[in-house]
Structure 1
Amino acid sequence: MHERGHKIKIFTNADEVHAAQVLSRLGLQDCFQGVMCFETLNPPMGLGHVSSIEGMNEVQIENVETQVLCKPSVQAMEAAIAIAKGDPKKTVITENLPT
């Protein structure tokens, strides 16, 4: 996938520390171009954590600021795609749990 120019990112409900530990333990930390975790979609309030919502429109930002976003909600998937600057029509999301 990398050779064909596809970006591969992890999107998890885990926190950033846990996601990093799991990827490291499995030896997979270099297999992905980024990790979107709980804090990415739910930045701590009042800490000026604006970088995680870069590229999102005003409605998406308002939703992020007023609710907790987690998989498998459609809103979380849409926010993750926007944060990754992906094209929803060219995005594939695979899940490890039945939904």
Structure 2
Amino acid sequence: MLNASLCEDFMVQKLGIEANKVSEIKRVLCRSYGTTMVGLLALGYNFDYDEYHNFIHRRMPYEILKPDHVLRDLLLSLPIRKVIFSNGDKIHVAEVLRKLELEDCFERVISFETLNPTNGSNTLIVCKPFKNAFEQAFRIANINPQKTIR
């Protein structure tokens, strides 16, 4: 996975973690903390959320994404509210939607910044896959989780 490789590059280039250890560290962090970024911060690595997202997402090959008109038609035909909930930052989500030509198919995007509006050093990060992240996303989007397709 490209995202995983870019995350490993961040760990080596920005945090100075030995290249031969990043794969195992990343696996443990994802299992224990839900995401590598949250795990790295919990271990005491100090970096800005935006720095992390910029390093990972701005290096992704968005040019390989092409408009998906079948998906677009399907999404627009569904008579339900559609909300995106992503651990990615809003710039990343917007770029993916733009490349796929799906920007107007969703009522709302709940991104990393929606649940984590500040970059305080002692702030607990809220993200998927944890229950509190889904609870907050449901509340923000005014969604009844009992009547939701996930």
> 1:76-91 maps to which residues of 2 (within 5 A)?
76-91=133-148
Structure 1 match to 2:117: 43
Please state if 1:75 is matched with 2:132. Answer: yes
* Unaligned stretches of 5+ residues in structure 2: 1-74
For residue 126 of structure 2, give the secondary structure of its aligned residue in structure 1. Answer: coil
Q: Distance in 2 between matches of 1:20 and 1:89?
A: 28
Identity, % of aligned positions: 44
> For 1:7, which of 56, 63, 81 is the aligned residue?
81
Deviation per residue, 1:21-68 (Å, 9 max, x gap): 11001111111111000000111258xxxxxxxxxxxxxxxxxx9521
Q: TM-score, normalised by structure 1?
A: 0.66
CA contact (8 A) 1:9 1:36 kept: yes
For residue 128 of structure 2, give the secondary structure of its aligned residue in structure 1. Answer: coil
Q: Greater helix share, 1 or 2?
A: 2
RCO greater where, 1 or 2, for CA within 8 Å and sep 6 or more? Answer: 1
Number of positions where the alignment pairs a residue of Structure 1 with one of Structure 2: 75
- Runs of 4+ residues deviating >2 angstroms: 1-5
